[in-house]
A and B are shown apart, each in its own frame.
Chain A
Amino acid sequence: MKKVCTNKLTDEKFKALDEFIDKLSYKDGALITVLHKAQEIFGYLPVEVQLHVAQKLDMPAAKVNGVVTFYSYFSETPKGEHVISVCLGTACFVRGAENIIKEFEKRLSIKPGQTTADGKFSIDALRCVGACGLAPVVMVDGKVYGRVKVEDVDAILKNYI
Chain B
Amino acid sequence: MSKYRMHLLVCGGTGCKASDSDGIISNLEKHIKEHGLENEVQVVTTGCFGFCEKGPIVKVHPDNVFYIEVKPEDAEEIVKEHLVKGRVVNRLLYVEPTLQERVGQHKDMAFYKKQIRIALRNCGFISPEDINEYISVEGYQALGKVLTEMSPEEVIELVKKSGLRGRGGGGFPTGIKWEAARKTASEDKYIICNADEGDPGAFMDRSILEGDPHSVLEAMAIAGYATGAKEGFIYIRAEYPLAIHRLQIAITQAREFGLLGKDILGTGFDFDLDIRYGAGAFVCGEETALIHSIEGDRGEPTNKPPFPAQSGLWKKPTSVNNVETFANIPPIILKGAEWFSAIGTEKSKGTKVFALAGKVNNVGLVEVPMGITLREIIFDIGGGIKDDRKFKSVQTGGPSGGCLTEENLDTPIDYETLASIGSMMGSGGMIVMDEDDCMVNVAKFYLEFTVDESCGKCTPCRVGNKRLHEILTRITEGKGTMKDLEVLKELGEAIKDTALCGLGQTSPNPVLSTMKYFWDEYVEHVKDKKCRAGVCTSLLSYYIIAEKCIGCTACARVCPVKCIKGEVKKPHEIDQSKCIKCGACYTACKFKAIEKR
Interface residues of A (CB under 8 A from B): 28-33, 35-36, 63, 66-67, 70-74, 88-91, 93-95, 126-135, 137, 144, 146, 150-151
Residues of A within 8 A of B280 (CB): 71-74
B295 touching A35, Cβ below 8 Å: no
A-contact bits for B232-268, CB 8 A (1 contact / 0 none): 0000001110000000000000000000000000000
A29 with B200: CB separation less than 8 A: no
* Chain A residues whose CB sits within 8 angstroms of the CB of B200 once the complex forms: 88-90, 93, 127-128
Q: Are B455 and A132 in contact (CB under 8 A)?
A: no
- Render B75-92 as a binary contact track against A, CB cut-off 8 A, 1 for contact: 000000000000000000
Knowing A133-B364, A134-B19, A146-B19 touch, does A90 contact B429 (C-beta < 8 A)? yes
CB 8 Å contact bits of B184-202 with A (1 = contact, 0 = none):
0000000000000011111
Q: Which of A30, A94, A133 contacts B431 (CB 8 A)?
A: A94
Residue ID in chain A nearest B446 by CB atoms:
A90
For residue B55, CB closer than 8 A to chain A, the reply is: yes
| A67-B206 in contact (CB<8A) | no
Residues of B within 8 A of A90 (CB): 200-201, 357-358, 395, 398, 429, 431, 445-446
Asked if B296 CB lies within 8 Å of chain A CBs, one says: yes
> Nearest CB to that of B442 among chain A residues?
A94
Q: Is the CB of B206 within 8 A of A130?
A: yes
In the complex, what residue of chain A is closest to B52 when comparing beta carbons?
A133
- Are A129 and B239 touching (Cβ within 8 A)? yes
Q: How far is the CA of A134 from the CA of B296 in the complex (A)?
A: 35
B239 engages A126 (CB within 8 Å): yes
CA distance A130 to B14 in the complex (A): 7
Chain A residue nearest to B583 in the complex (CB): A99
Contacts of B364 in A (CB 8 A): 133
Residue B487 at the A interface, CB < 8 A?
no
Bound state CA distance, A32 and B200, in angstroms? 23
Asked if B201 and A36 sit within 8 Å, CB to CB, the answer is no
**A91 & B55 in contact (Cβ 8 Å cutoff):** no
* 4 more CB-based (< 8 A) A-B contacts, given A90-B429, A90-B431, A131-B18: A29-B294, A67-B298, A70-B281, A73-B279
- The reply to whether the CB of B415 lies closer than 8 angstroms to some CB of chain A is no
> Chain B residues with Cβ under 8 A from A71's Cβ?
278-281, 299
Looking at B293, B295, B296, B298, the one whose CB has the most chain A CB atoms below 10 A away is B296
Contacts of A72 in B (CB 8 A): 279-281
25 A/B residue pairs, CB under 8 Å, sorted by A: A29-B294, A30-B296, A32-B279, A32-B293, A32-B296, A33-B277, A36-B279, A63-B297, A71-B281, A72-B280, A90-B357, A90-B398, A90-B431, A90-B445, A91-B357, A94-B359, A94-B442, A127-B198, A128-B200, A129-B14, A130-B14, A130-B240, A132-B15, A137-B18, A146-B19
Within 8 A of A (CB), among B363-379: 363-364
A128, closest chain B residue (CB): B200
* Residues of chain B from 126 to 151 with CB closer than 8 A to chain A in the complex: none
Residues of chain A with a CB closer than 8 A to B201's CB: 89-91, 128, 132
Question: Residue-by-residue, is B32-55 near A (CB-CB < 8 Å gives 1, otherwise 0)?
Answer: 000000000000000000001111
Q: Are B455 and A70 closer than 8 Å at their CB atoms?
A: yes
A94 touches B15 (CB 8 A): no
B314 at the interface (CB under 8 A from A): yes
Q: Which B-chain residue is minimally distant from A144 (CB atoms)?
A: B18
Given contacts A130-B15, A134-B15, is CB(A73)–CB(B398) below 8 Å?
no
CB-contacts of B269-311 with A (<8 A): 276-282, 293-299
Q: A74-B279, A90-B431 are in contact. Are A36 and B238 (CB under 8 A)?
A: yes
A119 to chain B, nearest CB (A): 23
Q: Are A132 and B52 in contact (CB under 8 A)?
A: yes
Closest to A74 in B: B279
Name B296's contact: one of A31, A73, A91, A132 (CB within 8 Å): A31
Closest 9 CB pairs of A and B: A133-B52, A130-B203, A71-B279, A91-B357, A144-B18, A89-B200, A90-B201, A73-B280, A31-B296
- Rounded to whole Å, the gap between the CB of B316 and the closest CB of chain A is 12
